[in-house]
Amino acid sequence: MEEIRRAVFLDRDGVINEIIYHQDIGVIDSPFTPEQFHLMDGAAWAIQEINRIGLLAIVVTNQPGIAKGHLSKRVLDLITEKMIKELALGGACLDDIYMCLHHPKGSGNGSGDQRYVMDCSCRKPKPGLLIEAAKKHQINLAASYMIGDSITDIQAGASVGCTTFLIGHPKCDLCRIMEKSGVRPDFIVPSLLEAVKVIKYQENLKNSFQGSSSEQLCLSEIFIDDNFYAHENPLSIERKFC
Ligand SMILES: [Mg+2]
Ligand SMILES: [Zn+2]
């Protein structure tokens, strides 16, 4: 089947919604209840922009909380409903949502839902979720984008040829670990919004090469932070790593 469409694949936690500190168990993790689910600043606006430029906005997320006993499938569904509703209120639409519910070890003490305790081919860093989405929506993965805040997001996206964006600080510990592992995102940006600005810029370049007269992006809108995109020539976005 012809791969005619392109997508922005979005990790969920730390990209669309805030990560939660669970004081009772002393861990930083996904929200375990709908009340703990809060959109990141600018997330709806960024996804609305993805919608507007004609790319598919598709969530690809590892959610092992059921396998680990943190929440039920029912509660996860409620969290998903809240995400869709809050994004819709902000004018944003997700084209699809793919979740890996598996975990190779589960909670470790049998308290999780054992049906999801397994090795699978969809848990990132494996690209199973992206491949499944590509089949359904006829997506050209090599011409698509992956935005995430973990090494595993970058690995999943890079393994199928997506342009990858790490949301993080250029001096972050994660970046040092990535460099040691030989994993390199194409871009490091401080937020989903900034990632989408770069995508808009790249799409605009593609369009202008094809001779269409698409809207001109204001460059000052894109080159927000000299640490990330410091260069004289706006036509050559530097792929920078810390
Ligand atoms: Mg994440
Ligand atoms: Zn899986």
146 Cβ neighbours under 8 A, 6+ residues apart: 8, 9, 11, 60, 130, 153, 154, 156, 157, 158, 162, 163, 164, 165
Q: Are 241 and 184 in contact (CB under 8 A)?
A: yes
144 Cβ neighbours under 8 A, 6+ residues apart: 6, 7, 8, 9, 55, 162, 163
CA of 180 from ligand 2 middle (Å) equals 26
Q: What is the CATH number of the domain that holds 67?
A: 3.40.50.1000
In a domain, 152, yes or no: yes
In a domain, 33, yes or no: yes
- Domain span at residue 149? 7-191
* Joined tokens for residue 17: 């919604």
In a domain, 14, yes or no: yes
pLDDT digits (tens, 9 = 90+) for 158-190: 999 999 999 987 666 777 777 788 888 888 888
In the beta sheet, which residues pair with residue 39? 17
CA of 148 from ligand 1 middle (Å) equals 6
User: What pLDDT sits at residue 206?
Assistant: 77
Return the top range by mean pLDDT from 3-7, 152-156, 226-230. Answer: 152-156
How far is it, in rounded angstroms, from Cα 70 to Cα 93? Answer: 28
In a domain, 225, yes or no: no
In a domain, 138, yes or no: yes
pLDDT digits (tens, 9 = 90+) for 37-69: 999 999 999 999 999 999 999 999 999 999 999
pLDDT digits (tens, 9 = 90+) for 62-83: 999 999 999 999 999 999 999 9
Q: Is the bond preceding residue 125 a cis peptide, omega within 30 degrees? A: yes
Counting the structural domains of the chain, the total is 1
The proportion of the chain whose per-residue pLDDT surpasses 90, expressed as a percent, equals 66
Annotated active-site residue 119? The verdict is no
